Amino acid sequence: MLKTMRISVLLSIIIVLMAALSGCTSKDTAATSSTDNQAQSASKSASTPAETVELTVSAAASMTDALKDIQKTYEAANPNIKLNFNFGASGALQHQIEQGAPADLFLSAAAKNMKALVDKQLIDTNQQKKLLGNELAAVVFTDGKVGVTNVIDLSKDDVKNIAIGIPESVPAGSYAKEALTNLKLWDSLQSKMVQGKDVRQVLQYVETGNADVGFVYKTDALTSQKVKVAFTVDPKTYKPIEYPIGIVKATKHSKEAESFYTYLQSKEALDVFVKYGFSILN
């Protein structure tokens, strides 16, 4: 009888010990599994790159070369940002934004185009500012034989075609018209005028010989080896050339747009603009 009781007690102890051991193993397994899951989750998070944000920047055609240079530096430092530029005449870009075309930032070659968007509450007045300045110049083909050294020479018979941006939509054309009007030459030169959709097309007209003379910005003249500056236009004959920049209210990437807007005002970016012939407005 006593022997039977001892065996029963021993069995009970063994059962209790086995149950305890089983519980510990289960907890250890659960803990290990949880740790593994956390490690896998962390590893997956670390290996997943940040989502790329594409910013659409509507910019005056005269800023093409400078902005493409800036793009390389900015995207290298911000690999999650892709800059998509929409270059064109400032007036045309303004109308695109007014009609709801996607744009995160607007860089204009004239203050009036920025003001129009601010007035229509499409750009916040506190998120726009005048940044750059430029000069108006008349260019001729580098190896051309047309003798033009001043504005009066435009009236010569051997000057057949004068390229100018459409005054209603191209700021460079508007400045040129204003200058020629103030110099009492606009009406007499009408028969020679060839209009371009933006300042880069005007430059191309001269480069290809489709125009003897073209009115462009000094910065555009510096980008081409096929043209040379015949003369700079007296700045007293036209309004100061100002380039404002601003954030479009409809942007879906306000944080990223603000970062690029701020970067464009940095010394690093401004140095690039100066390299391409722009002046900095204080």
Query: How do residues 245-264 score in pLDDT, each as one tens digit?
Result: 999 999 999 999 999 999 99
Q: What is the pLDDT of residue 31?
A: 43
Report pLDDT for 185.
97
In this prediction the pTM is 0.78
Convert the pLDDT of each residue in 181-212 to its tens digit: 999 999 999 999 999 999 999 999 999 999 99
234: left (phi over 0), alpha (psi -120 to 50) or beta: beta
Phi, then psi, of 239 in degrees rounded to 5: -65, 150
Per-residue pLDDT of 25-81, as tens digits, reads: 444 444 444 445 554 544 444 445 578 999 999 999 999 999 999 999 999 999 999
By mean pLDDT, which of 31-40, 66-75, 158-167, 273-282 is the weakest?
Answer: 31-40
Q: What is the pLDDT of residues 80-104, one digit of tens each?
A: 999 999 999 999 999 999 999 999 9
pLDDT at 53: 95
Q: Is the Cβ–Cβ distance between 142 and 230 less than 8 Å?
A: no
The per-residue b/e assignment along 125-151, b for 16 or more CB within 10 angstroms, e otherwise, is eebbeebbebbbbbbbbeebeeebeeb
pLDDT at res. 2: 43
- The per-residue pLDDT for 8 is 53
Sign of CA dihedral 205, 206, 210, 215: positive
Give the pLDDT confidence score for residue 52 in this predicted structure: 93
Mean pLDDT (whole number) for 119-144: 95
| Largest separation between any pair of C-alpha atoms in the chain | 138
Pairing between β-strand 105-107 and β-strand 53-60 as defined by DSSP bridges = parallel
Mean pLDDT of the chain: 88
Provide the token pair at 126.
């506190």
Selected residue with higher pLDDT from 151 and 23: 151
Average pLDDT over residues 119-132: 97
Quickly count helices (H) and strands (E) in the chain. Answer: 10, 11
Is the pLDDT confidence value at 19 over 70? no
Contact predicate 268/275, CB 8 Å: no
Residue 238 Cα to chain centre, angstroms: 27
- Tell me: pLDDT of 20 over 90: no
